[in-house]
Each structure stands twice: as C-alpha cells, then as structure tokens.
Amino acid sequence: MVSPSPVVCVTWCGSIFAGSAAASYARWVTRTLRNSALGITAALIGWFILVELVSGILQGYYVPLFSDIVIHLGIHDSDVNWFEAAQLLLSSIVVPVLAKIGDMFGHKKVLLIATVLTAGATWWVAFAGTFESFLIAWALQGFYVVWLPLEIALVFERGRRQARGTSATRRAAGLLIVGLQAGAIIGALAAGRIFAATGENLTVTLMIPAIAVTAVFFVILFGVPESEPLPDRRLDAWGFVILTLGLLLVTTALTFLRMPDLPSWLTWVLLPLGIAVLVVFVRFELSQDDPAIDVRVFRRPEMWPIQTTAFLLGISVLGAQAPLSTFVGTDPAVGYGLGLDATERSNVIGAYLVFVILGAIIFSVTSRSLPPRVLLIVGAALLGVGYALFLPFHDTLPQVIVNMAVAGVGSGALLAALPAAAAAAAPRGQTGVASALTNTTKTIGGTFASAVFGVVLAAGVGAVASDTAASLGGYMAVWSICAGGGLLAAVLLFFVPKVAFADTETEELEAAAGESQIV
C-alpha cells in the first residue's frame, strides 16, 4: 500500500476544513449573538461569510476547467491569458468607483447591483459559445471583486454605532477571508467532480457557480441591513473619468508587457502616459470639495503604509502563484524543479490556500488581544521570510511546503488585515472607497509582478539546454522580489502610529448619542 504524500494529506485535511468552515463559523456567530453586544454585527458577518464562500468558488471553480473551456471555444491555450487580463482591467477600474458610490448612497444598494451584474455575467459564461462572447462575460464577472470592500464598509458602519467599529471590522475581516479561501478550495475540488458527474457537459457544469451567485443576491437582499450614508454628497464624475483613464492605461500597459506577441513599444508608451494621467488626477482631486477619492487621506501616516503594503502584497499573492506552479512542475533533469504532475501541482496550491486560511484565522483570533499594527508587521515579515526561505531551500517538496506555510500564514493575515485597517484609517463616509483601494493597489501590484516575472523567467528559457543556472536564476529573482516586497512592507508599517486602528473616542460618542436617541 502506497502512503499518501504530505501535500495530499495537507490538502485533504484542508478540504475537510474548508467544507466545514461555514458551519463552524456559523456556530461561532451564534455564540457571539448570545454573549456579545455586537449581535447585529455578528449576524451580518454570518451572512457575509456565505457571500465570500461564493466569491471564493468563483475564483477557484474555473481553473481546473480551463483546458476543457479552451476546447469548447476552439481557441489556443495562450488565449486564456486574455481572460485574466480582461477581468483584472475591469475590476481595477470599477471597484473604487462602485465603492465610492456605496459611500454616497448606501453600500447595500451597490452590493446588490454588483451581485446582479455578476450573476448575469456568470450565466452568460455558462452559455457563451464563442471566444469573444466568453471574454466579455468573463470580464463582466469581475464585478464580484467589489463585494469584500462593501462588506467591510457595512460591518464597520454597524460596529461604529456600538463604539466597536474598528475592532469588529478586524475580526470580521479575518472570518471573511476564511470564507473566501475556503470557497476557493471548495470550488477547485468540486469543478472536476461535477464535470465528470454531468458526463462532461461543460454548460451544465458552468451553471453551478451561476446558481450560487443568484442565491447570494437573496442572501444580501433579505439578510443585510443598509448603511447610513452622509447627506449632501455629490458625485465627482470628472474625477472618476480621469481615474478610470489612468488605471486603464497603467493596467493595460502592464498586461501587454507579459504578452510577447504584442509590440513592446505599446507598454513603454502607455505606462508613462497612464502615470501622467494619475498625476493629473491627484492635482484635480486636491481642488475638489467632495472629491472622488480624497487623496489627502492617503497622506496620513496610518493610510499610506497600508496602501503601499497592499501593492507589495499583490506581487506575491497574485503574481507569484504561476511561477510556483511551473517551478514545482519542472522536470528535475534540467537541474531544478520537483517534477510534479498536474494533480500534484494542484495539491501544492491547495496546501498554500490552507495556510492562507490559517493566517486569516490567527489574525481574527489574535486581533482581540494584540495591537493591529503589530499584527500587520508580523504578517508582512512572515510573507518576506517565507519567500526568502526559497532561496536556499527549494530542492525537496517538504522544503517547498515549509516555505509556503510561512508565506501563506503571513499572506492570510495581511489579506484579512489590510481592508479593515484602511476602513479604520478613513474618515466617516469614505470607508468603502478606502478599503476598495487596497484591492485596486493589490491588483496593480499583481499585474506588475505578473508582467515582470514573465519577462524574468522568459529570459532564462533559452539557456536551459546549456546552463540551467540562468533559468533557476529567474526563479531566484522572483523569490527575491517577493521576499523584498514583504520585508519592505514590514519596515514601512513601522511608520504607522502605535495607536492606529483602535476603537476611537469618536465612535464611543456617536454610539452613546445613538443610544440616547433610541431612549
């Protein structure tokens, strides 16, 4: 009898954990309802865990099916890159806009609109029969990315009324990331099995996430209360137009950089132009009374390190997963790699997600007793150390798993901490857009890393036959960049004031005023 590999054991345990995560945390929420003054907030977290489970399913479900989608659409494997590029482009643009509209008119309203758009696009994905149609539907599905920032804003708003907005948001963020990553594992594990159970009927298989998103609409409609936006706000339409143009130019330039079939001059024209447009945006916003994004807030010592850390986190979380997969799949005969097949590579990624979940849980639990600033610094340091360990230790599977465990725990803590920290650092009426911008900067960081990593690794391909050190050097460069990003973030977070992200006296006064009005 052959004993299972460590990765299979870890992933199998992770899948069991993921499958029971929602039930376990539902029981936790029930206990909180009975024992805490945060009953309404805790109930809200319970609904949002379900929403994030579906968000995770959307992120994990399609990956095992890409080969079958390629055959179904009659396209080449390389065309799959356009799916990710299109969705990243749309999400980076619409997330700050929708979050700001949520701050102005109510976060629940925008959450419902984003869910309707996501559901419609997901149904479209299931029935799309051409590459162009599928690409448009896939891009529009990216509206789900705004769910988490809006959820964070809603939790913060409810907690603020009870003088615990910041601490409640921190705990909620950890639980929501657990739901997100658990959903990703569930989606990845379920997709292939459903495809086989339906007799390899791709359309029916792709209907499952569409059904899940449709159900989430009713969860939000009946289970989530609306926030209380500040009155007399106006929409800075020109600000959003300039921001959208700048983000479109920057993300398009970075996307083109990793597509060798396109002329390289496109990147070097679009990227400086995009940066110039963003500079214009900053100057324009400084002259507005009610700007689309209050850039003055991002000068604060408790905000700019958070947004910079989100960018640096995106480098490893969004940019380094593909290099990790190709590294462990490389035949050791070329001088490096582990020679894992597709199933084993999936197990490695699954193991990494388990450690991300663990990091989010640790953050949620310890945020009650440790200062948020300390948790952020520790998370960033773990991320940096985990990737730094790849430099000397990458020859065996146990070494890779240990490295991923350290980096994964740090990543999970940061994924949970950053949106909550941004919401806490923002003034009232800007919590949604502040937490949303952590996602935008993370996306830009991931897009930048994907482009750079693609160029770095491609530079060593031609040297494999004669000198494997060059190709291995490309992976060393990837790990060094990820490690440097994590450690740099840890240093920058020391500039955050020690008392940042705590429940404020203002929140306590607002809560007391609200209670007196009720009486």
pLDDT tens-digit map of 139-189: 999 999 999 989 888 888 776 665 555 666 777 788 888 888 889 888 888
Taking only the tens place, the pLDDT of each residue in 209-230 is 999 999 999 999 988 888 777 7
- Do residues 354 and 392 touch, judged by C-beta distance below 8 A? no
Taking only the tens place, the pLDDT of each residue in 94-121 is 888 888 888 888 889 999 999 999 999 9
**Half-sphere exposure (CA, 13 Å, Cβ side) for 452?**
19
- 161: helix, strand or coil: coil
Record the tokens describing residue 407, joined without a space. 């980096």
| pLDDT given for residue 117 in this prediction | 96
| pLDDT given for residue 29 in this prediction | 44
Taking only the tens place, the pLDDT of each residue in 24-44 is 544 544 454 444 434 446 677
Q: Between the CA of residue 55 and those of 35, 66, 123, 227, 470, what are the distances in Å? A: 29, 18, 15, 22, 39
Residue with tokens 């569409």: 210
Highest mean pLDDT (candidates 67-81, 247-261, 358-372): 358-372
Highest mean pLDDT (candidates 254-258, 424-428, 430-434): 430-434
Which residue, 118, 127, 191, 194, is CA-closest to 150? 118
Quick one: pLDDT band at residue 342, thresholds 50, 70, 90?
Answer: low
Record the tokens describing residue 492, joined without a space. 């920058």
Percent of the chain past pLDDT 90, that is, above it, reads: 26
Q: Between the CA of residue 343 and those of 61, 349, 404, 406, 499, what are the distances in Å? A: 15, 10, 18, 23, 47
Quick one: pLDDT band at residue 200, thresholds 50, 70, 90?
Answer: confident
- Do residues 376 and 396 touch, judged by C-beta distance below 8 A? no
| pLDDT given for residue 509 in this prediction | 39
- Do residues 417 and 381 touch, judged by C-beta distance below 8 A? no
Taking only the tens place, the pLDDT of each residue in 482-514 is 999 999 999 999 988 876 666 554 444 344 444
- Do residues 182 and 56 touch, judged by C-beta distance below 8 A? yes
- Do residues 180 and 364 touch, judged by C-beta distance below 8 A? no
Quick one: pLDDT band at residue 277, thresholds 50, 70, 90?
Answer: very high
Q: What average pLDDT does the structure give for the chain?
A: 79
Which residue, 239, 220, 244, is CA-closest to 151? 220
pLDDT at 15 over 70: no
| CB burial string 409-425: b at 16+ within 10 A, e below | bbbbbbbbbbbbbbbbb
| pLDDT given for residue 497 in this prediction | 81
- Pick from 34-43, 338-347, 365-374, 411-420: least confident: 34-43
pLDDT at 460 over 70: no
Length of the chain, in residues: 519
| pLDDT given for residue 268 in this prediction | 83
Taking residues 329-355, what's their average pLDDT? 80
Give the rounded distance of the alpha carbon of 344 from its chain centre.
24
Taking only the tens place, the pLDDT of each residue in 121-144 is 999 999 998 989 999 999 999 999
Quick one: pLDDT band at residue 280, thresholds 50, 70, 90?
Answer: very high
Which residue, 431, 465, 490, is CA-closest to 165? 431
Taking only the tens place, the pLDDT of each residue in 231-241 is 667 778 888 88
pLDDT at 478 over 50: yes
Q: Which long-range contacts (CB under 8 A, 24 or more apart) does 425-429 make?
A: 425/297, 425/300, 425/302, 425/303, 425/306, 425/500, 425/501, 426/297, 426/303, 427/294, 427/297, 428/160, 428/230, 429/103, 429/104, 429/229, 429/230, 429/233
CA-CA distance, 244 to 278, in Å (whole number)? Answer: 9
- Do residues 392 and 444 touch, judged by C-beta distance below 8 A? no
Residue with tokens 């390899």: 200
Residue with the bigger pLDDT between 477 and 1: it is 477
- Pick from 198-207, 227-236, 409-418: least confident: 227-236
Taking only the tens place, the pLDDT of each residue in 352-388 is 888 998 998 888 888 777 888 888 999 999 999 999 9
Which residue, 188, 460, 118, is CA-closest to 351? 188
Q: Between the CA of residue 288 and those of 296, 379, 427, what are the distances in Å? A: 11, 36, 17
Cα angle 301, 302, 303 (rounded to 5 degrees) comes to 95
Residue with the bigger pLDDT between 436 and 54: it is 54
pLDDT at 351 over 50: yes
CA-CA distance, 404 to 110, in Å (whole number)? Answer: 36
Quick one: pLDDT band at residue 400, thresholds 50, 70, 90?
Answer: very high
Which amino acid does the sequence have at 182? A
Q: Say which DSSP state 227 is in.
A: -
pLDDT at 19 over 50: no
CB-neighbour burial class of residue 357 (10 A; exposed 0-12, middle 13-18, buried 19+):
buried
| pLDDT given for residue 7 in this prediction | 45
| pLDDT given for residue 28 in this prediction | 47
Which amino acid does the sequence have at 459? A
DSSP for 403-452 reads HHHHHHHHHHHHHHHHHHHHHHHSPTT-HHHHHHHHHHHHHHHHHHHHHH
Which amino acid does the sequence have at 295? V
Residue with tokens 């950890």: 174
| pLDDT given for residue 210 in this prediction | 95
Give the rounded distance of the alpha carbon of 279 from its chain centre.
26
pLDDT at 9 over 70: no
Q: Say which DSSP state 504 is in.
A: P
CB-neighbour burial class of residue 366 (10 A; exposed 0-12, middle 13-18, buried 19+):
middle
* Beta carbons within 8 Å of 167's beta carbon, 6+ residues apart: 159, 367, 368, 502, 503
- 235: helix, strand or coil: coil
- 232: helix, strand or coil: coil
